[in-house]
Structure 1
């Protein structure tokens, strides 16, 4: 252990430490992409479930910073309509180019979905959905979308 640390220091480890610290503060480059479609009964590969949930590279992702209307089941027709619009918009956003996923304080929710913020060019795709009226900021509780 001491030898490994000594070797690390001898080859510039201490000088590279500041780079490592700075790297954790800067956003990661947008390097993820896929051709997304809507999920089906047996389709769970790079697909959109609803406005805040999608499958990517074998993992179910819940967008951590937003909440969108429920589709399974919607509580009213207005929720269904807005939920379908949020789902379609998320599909378009994911297919619009490269993005990055960043974890927050919790890695997973109680359903085993990975909690991630989806970013493109330093902006949250969740913010886009909120600004377009298709989502709300996640505050830890579900709020109704019916009247």
Structure 2
């Protein structure tokens, strides 16, 4: 089991997009026997079998394996946008219905990520979106975990255009 030590200044206000100043936060991962653990850094051609991790909603001290929103996760500290869906916004929703649906999508994605081993697969096309997030599919047993979100009405297939979640 890895131990995460965080040393630095904690801000009273924190947003998942905030990037700390270089000397504000120092994170050290130490594995059994004192060895430093390597982290997965997905590339455009990468596909890794049998990945796993314990996921929760992202927070100040939880920045390794966590869910940011219904279509974005952090895995080993790398921000990954699930390329084949669009989920409702939670940081700047256009209406209360979008905020509520986005919150449900985020929590459902936590459940899906914790349901067992998965693969992170190159989506084809661009490696990153305009925000620097890696564009990937997350698969379990050959199916995208995003399928469940779409089936449950918590996300839509991404077709390249944003559509309103408000009625």
Q: Shared topology, TM-score over 0.5?
A: yes
Higher helix share: 1
Distance in 2, Cα, partners of 1:113 & 1:140: 16
TM-score, normalising length from structure 2? 0.69
Report how far residue 105 of structure 1 moved. Answer: 1.4
Deviates more, 1:36-45 or 1:79-88: 36-45
Report how far residue 29 of structure 1 moved. Answer: 6.9
Deviations 1:2-35 (A, max 9, x none): xxxxxxxxxxxxxxxxxxxxxxxxxx67411000
| Corresponding position: 1:94 with 2:81 | no
Higher strand share: 2
| Corresponding position: 1:50 with 2:69 | yes
Q: Is the 8 A contact 2:87 2:154 kept in 1?
A: yes
Q: How large is the RMSD of aligned CA atoms in angstroms?
A: 1.3
In the alignment, structure 2 segments of 5+ residues that lack a partner are: 1-46
Q: Is the 8 A contact 1:78 1:145 kept in 2?
A: yes
| Corresponding position: 1:40 with 2:59 | yes
- Corresponding residue number in structure 1 for 2:91: 72
Q: Is the 8 A contact 2:48 2:120 kept in 1?
A: no
Distance in 2, Cα, partners of 1:107 & 1:63: 12
Distance in 2, Cα, partners of 1:107 & 1:32: 20
- Corresponding residue number in structure 1 for 2:131: 111
Higher relative contact order (CA 8 A, sep 6+): 1
Query: Of 143, 150, 162, which residue of structure 2 is paired with 1:130?
Result: 150
In the alignment, structure 1 segments of 5+ residues that lack a partner are: 1-27
